[in-house]
Amino acid sequence: MITYDRVRELFDYRDDGRLIWKIASNNNIKIGYVAGFIGNHGYCTIQADGKAYPTHRLIYFWHHGYMPENNLDHINRIRTDNRIENLREASISCNARNTGNHKDNKSGVKGVCKYPALNKWQAYIAVNSKNYKLGYFDDFDEAVLTRLAAEQCLDWNNCDPASPAYRYALRQGLIHRRR
């Protein structure tokens, strides 16, 4: 396991969320170059002292002096945006909530779908891998606000600051920006 002192010895941090090599620990490293590469999973990875580390974890370590015990969440959901202000410690469930809409989502809002049998909008929410129906609505906006209210009742505000329900309600003027 890499130490805090070693991370500080090897790298400088740039405000754009990149680590720069300070020393050349082998022939493949050039001082002043951006460290790491983007792997198949879409995250930046750095090889240091013979071991691969997710870049966002090293950046968090570099800033805070400890390797986070929990997951690190990219708040804006962009896996390569490793600016320290875009990283936060999060539980597995909180990190899982900070996802956008699934590819097959047709309503544009996670947890809201058209229910053809009743010709209504259905709002639902998943908690601990179980779906809960929140109701059926004639009005799409009402279904979205119900989904948003459920997120807030479960204190998901800090888990998904870019919730599709929140963004939709804000765009439509149904709510005002959080302060």
DSSP string, 135-157: EEESSHHHHHHHHHHHHHHTT-T
Per-residue pLDDT, 95: 78
Give the residue from 105, 47, 109, 97 showing the smallest Cα distance to 71.
97
Q: How far apart are the first and last CA of the chain?
A: 40
| Encoded tokens for 69 | 């015990």
Per-residue pLDDT, 160: 66
Per-residue pLDDT, 99: 75
Per-residue pLDDT, 166: 86
- Where in 75-129 does DSSP place strands (E)? 87-90, 112-115, 120-127
Q: Are 11 and 2 in contact (CB under 8 A)?
A: no
Q: Are 138 and 159 in contact (CB under 8 A)?
A: no
Q: What are the domain boundaries of the chain? A: 4-90, 99-171
Per-residue pLDDT, 155: 76
**C-alpha atoms less than 13 angstroms from C-alpha of 134 in its C-beta half-sphere:** 22
Per-residue pLDDT, 141: 97
Per-residue pLDDT, 178: 63
Give the pTM. Answer: 0.74
**Regions of the chain where pLDDT drops below 70:** 157-162, 178-179
Into which CATH architecture does domain 4-90 fall?
A: Alpha-Beta Complex (3.90)
Q: Give how far Cα 95 sits from Cα of 71, 90, 121, 136, 179, Å.
A: 7, 6, 27, 28, 22
Task: Please provide the CATH number assigned to the domain covering 99-171.
Answer: 3.30.730.10
Q: Are 12 and 19 in contact (CB under 8 A)?
A: yes
Per CATH, 4-90 and 99-171 having the same topology is answered no
Per DSSP, the three-state class of 132 is: strand
